[in-house]
Amino acid sequence: MNGILKKYRLLVLIAGTLWFASCSDFLDESDPSNFTVENYFTKPEHARSSVNAIYANMRKIMESGFGGADWSMTEFATGQAATDLGQAVNSYFVKDLKNTSDNSYGLRYWQFYYKGIANANLSIAKIPGITMDAVEAKRLMGEAYFLRAWYYFNLVRLFGNIPLVTEPTSLQSEQLRPSQANPEEVYKLIVDDLTTAEASGLPWTDPSGKVSLGAVKSLLAKVYLTMAGYPLQKGSTYYDLAAKKAEEVIDSKQFKLFASYDDLHNPAKKNIEENIFMIQYKTQIIPGTWQGFIIPYNKNISAYSDEMAGIYATVDFVKSYDPADLRTKEKQFFFTKFTNQSDRNQEVALGGYFIYKHFDITAQTTTANSDLNWPVIRYADVLLIYAEASNEAGAPTAKAFDALNGTRLRAQLPALSGLSKDQFRTEVLKERWYELCFENVTWFDMVRLRKGFNTATKQFDDYVGHKFSYGPVITARELLFPIPTVEIRNNTNLKQNTGY
């Protein structure tokens, strides 16, 4: 933690405050080097830019290159992802269950998410002191509370016992080397922050990509679902809370599933309909950098000069889908062939199942400058949260079947009915695995459920002892990622997770 906070300066907060919906609004001729915490938070526009800065660290984990991609860490941990990018050694450490605390993926999660939390803490502390419209101030605070909760929700699930810092921290602060809090304390803060955000007057939707009421309620449903499972095991009461919060999102009628999977990677569909909350990008300003990472190595199909084969689906995972499932058809969720960059009439076999659901067609074929956002919360996830949680809180209802069947029918699979509680549970979990793959969801599901999906039997094994289709076997240590070595070295109050 010390390694993060020493680097924290207001200049970092002010940098990157462009909001893509109206970039010119945030071009300021003032010299940023003249700003201090004391003189910066004086105007309404300072409040807006300080909150914009909280979002920025969400993008850092998405950076991708020949050294790998931090976001791929939780995908390789599922056993459902493959790679041909030999120099990205951190990918192999996670994929082969030989991870160490020196893995830079985990370090960047820790550092950048705590920087996001530091920015949130500063906004939450300083915005109330700015003379400005009270309604706007309350909404800005709602965004800040949501984002702090989002960062903590990810960190507590990744690392377990983590420092809980809720106030701005300087080199003189007692919390410069904080102790670890137990997960119960962290989840309490997360729920409190989201409950505050829920009451902050945010609109149900926000097509510019800022936090909306829909995003708040959806994340709260996901948090309650996680608290119902491991490690807190709060059970039926929290499944019921998750179901009710997801139901509020469903009943709002503000969101809907896309009719076509093409819309999942259509820049025109950013932040609307199925896309409840996303990490924001803008072509020619801050383009997404994962496009080269998800295409096959040196097949000459892309306008990108760097074709990395950094991540793609294992054959066993794709073959475990129902053969009739539309998601496995060519250029739906995956693709196995594409045209040659030099001659679009020539088709190239790719040699694997690459990820089409994140494929920016325009960037890949012409511009090499992606305009796609990254999905954080989709309406499909909310439907499946409702289906699972309502079943666990009681029994499968007609509305739960409707929620489950929503994504199934889009995949051209038959609607399910008449299942027992156990049968329904299995089907909804399969649907989560198949629908939400490669969106940084599956590993978190595995840990909260203590289950791994067996692609051979198409059933769920116990997490500890679950064998990946290519050989490695999960042990108890893989319930968490290791706390980065440098953080433990700089803060002796931190204790490493078991097994690392």
Give the pLDDT confidence score for residue 170 in this predicted structure: 77
The residues of the chain scoring below 70 in pLDDT are: 1-35
Please state, in angstroms and rounded to a whole number, the distance separating the CA atoms of residues 217 and 245. Answer: 6
Torsion sign (Cα): 148, 2, 92, 160: negative
Contact 107, 486 (CB under 8 A): yes
Give the pLDDT confidence score for residue 37 in this predicted structure: 72
Please state, in angstroms and rounded to a whole number, the distance separating the CA atoms of residues 225 and 385. Answer: 7
> Which residues partner with 123 through β-bridges?
none
- What SS3 class is residue 276? strand
* Residue-wise pLDDT tens digits, 296-333: 999 999 999 999 999 999 999 999 999 999 999 999 99
Q: Return the number of other C-beta atoms located less than 10 Å from residue 264's C-beta.
A: 21
Tokens matching residue 7: 């680097």
Give the pLDDT confidence score for residue 13 in this predicted structure: 42
Please state, in angstroms and rounded to a whole number, the distance separating the CA atoms of residues 88 and 68. Answer: 5
Contact 337, 349 (CB under 8 A): yes
Give the pLDDT confidence score for residue 1 in this predicted structure: 52
Q: Return the number of other C-beta atoms located less than 10 Å from residue 207's C-beta.
A: 13
Please state, in angstroms and rounded to a whole number, the distance separating the CA atoms of residues 402 and 399. Answer: 5
pTM of the predicted protein model:
0.94
> Which residue type is seen at 394?
G
φ, ψ of residue 58 to 5 degrees: the values are -65, -35
Question: Based on the number of CB atoms within 10 Å of its own CB, is 148 exposed (0-12), middle (13-18) or buried (19 or more)?
Answer: buried
- Helix 421-435 and helix 379-393: axis angle, to 10°? 160
Nearest to 23 by CA among 265, 269, 209: 209
DSSP 330: B
Instruction: List Cα–Cα distances, 34 to 30, 45, 132, 365, 408, in angstroms.
Output: 8, 16, 22, 44, 56
CATH number of 2-69+95-201+481-490: 1.25.40.890
Contacts of 411 (CB under 8 A, 6+ apart): 325, 326, 327, 434, 435
Give the pLDDT confidence score for residue 176 in this predicted structure: 79
Give the pLDDT confidence score for residue 36 in this predicted structure: 72
φ, ψ of residue 354 to 5 degrees: the values are -90, 160
Contact 19, 285 (CB under 8 A): no
Torsion sign (Cα): 261, 262, 265, 269: negative
Domain boundaries, the chain: 2-69+95-201+481-490, 281-372
Element (H, E) at 221: helix 213-228
Nearest to 109 by CA among 145, 150, 146, 78: 150
Contact 198, 213 (CB under 8 A): yes
Please state, in angstroms and rounded to a whole number, the distance separating the CA atoms of residues 43 and 278. Answer: 28
* Residue-wise pLDDT tens digits, 190-212: 999 999 999 999 999 999 999 99
Element (H, E) at 102: none
Tokens matching residue 199: 């009451």
φ, ψ of residue 353 to 5 degrees: the values are -100, 95
Locate the DSSP E strands across 300-346.
312-313, 334-339
